[in-house]
Amino acid sequence: MNPMRRPLIAGNWKMNQGGAGAPHLAAEVATRTVELDAVDVLVAPPFTALTTVAKELSGTKVHVAAQNMHAKDSGAFTGEVSAPMILETGAKWVIIGHSERRQYFGETDGSVGEKVAAALAKKLRPIVCIGETLEQREQGKTLAVVGWQLDAFVKLLAAEPGYGVVAYEPVWAIGTGRVATPEQAQEVHAAIRARLTQVNAEVGAKTLVLYGGSMKASNAAGLLSQADIDGGLVGGAALDAADFSGIAKAAQDLAKKG
């Protein structure tokens, strides 16, 4: 982490906690993180739970994100949800281009770019996910892949430096228990930071770059102590309020140490 950037710990609930469990988990996250004043905390429930979770968390410091959006405001797009609709729920953030969206739902760098542009235009803060597959890593293509993925949207971040967030999530580390080592992650984060700095110095200095992929309370401090890792996008461990708040506490402790 870098004292210039306030860390963000974001929980991606994926297709879990759609019913009464959603506000319950959200409330537990809020209670367990209430004293953390040096870190931002965010939860991303499924669409159907956004309104109840946003209501549950209003008056707390915990932010709410959707997990996806359509680039158009409205129209004949069965099954899709737009940025204005997300804003109506009270959520102010959106995850874009998660590797599961790319892998299972045909999202491309092109559609990710359109979504990021639409989110920024609507004042919905995007957390844009990038990351290589195991095959790409083994072929030595990691930095090239994340470079192409960044090219799809990185210039858009110049409109308001620091407003958009990037999440580096190596696909081979997501949900596998196989976490990137702090050094492996830092190498890619440094390359992402360099690309952000090419846009301009302010984008490079202010844009948060989160790590995602099997992050838990027990491995968070090692990752978060790296210079260019500004927080986490957490899947499995975000469904357990104690583990998730443990990650936020690790970020808080590192931020306080400066």
- Positions annotated as catalytic residues are 98, 169
Give the total residue count for the chain.
Answer: 258
How far apart are the C-alpha atoms of 20 and 30, rounded to whole Å? Answer: 16
In the bound state with ligand PGA, the residue whose beta carbon lies nearer, of 97 and 213, is: 213
Alpha helices (H) in 90-161, listed in sequence order: 99-104, 109-122, 134-138, 142-151
* Binding status of residue 65 toward ligand PGA by CB under 6 A: no
Minimum distance of ligand PGA from residue 175's CB (angstroms): 4
* Binding status of residue 12 toward ligand PGA by CB under 6 A: yes
Q: The tokens of 40 are what?
A: 């931002």
Specify the amino acid at residue 208: L
Given the rule CB under 6 A, which of 47-55, 101-109, 196-204, 206-214 is the region that contacts ligand PGA? 206-214
| Backbone phi and psi for residue 227, each to the nearest 5 degrees, phi listed first | -60, -35
Minimum distance of ligand PGA from residue 188's CB (angstroms): 15
Q: The tokens of 226 are what?
A: 């790296």
Given the rule CB under 6 A, which of 59-67, 105-113, 131-139, 209-217 is the region that contacts ligand PGA? 209-217
* Binding status of residue 235 toward ligand PGA by CB under 6 A: yes
In the bound state with ligand PGA, the residue whose beta carbon lies nearer, of 46 and 236, is: 236
* Binding status of residue 215 toward ligand PGA by CB under 6 A: yes
Site residues for ligand PGA, window 132-191 (CB under 6 A)?
169, 174-175
Taking alpha carbons only, the member of 92, 237, 213 closest to residue 142 is 213
Minimum distance of ligand PGA from residue 173's CB (angstroms): 6
Torsion, Cα 126 224 109 44, to 10 degrees, reads -40
3-state secondary structure of 222: helix
In the bound state with ligand PGA, the residue whose beta carbon lies nearer, of 36 and 173, is: 173
Per CB under 6 A, the list member of 54, 128, 233, 248 interacting with ligand PGA is 233
Q: The tokens of 257 are what?
A: 């140490």
Q: The tokens of 252 are what?
A: 């808080």
Q: How far apart are the first and last CA of the chain?
A: 8
Given the rule CB under 6 A, which of 130-138, 155-163, 232-240, 245-253 is the region that contacts ligand PGA? 232-240
Instruction: State the residues that interact with ligand PGA by CB under 6 A.
Output: 12, 169, 174-175, 212-215, 233-237
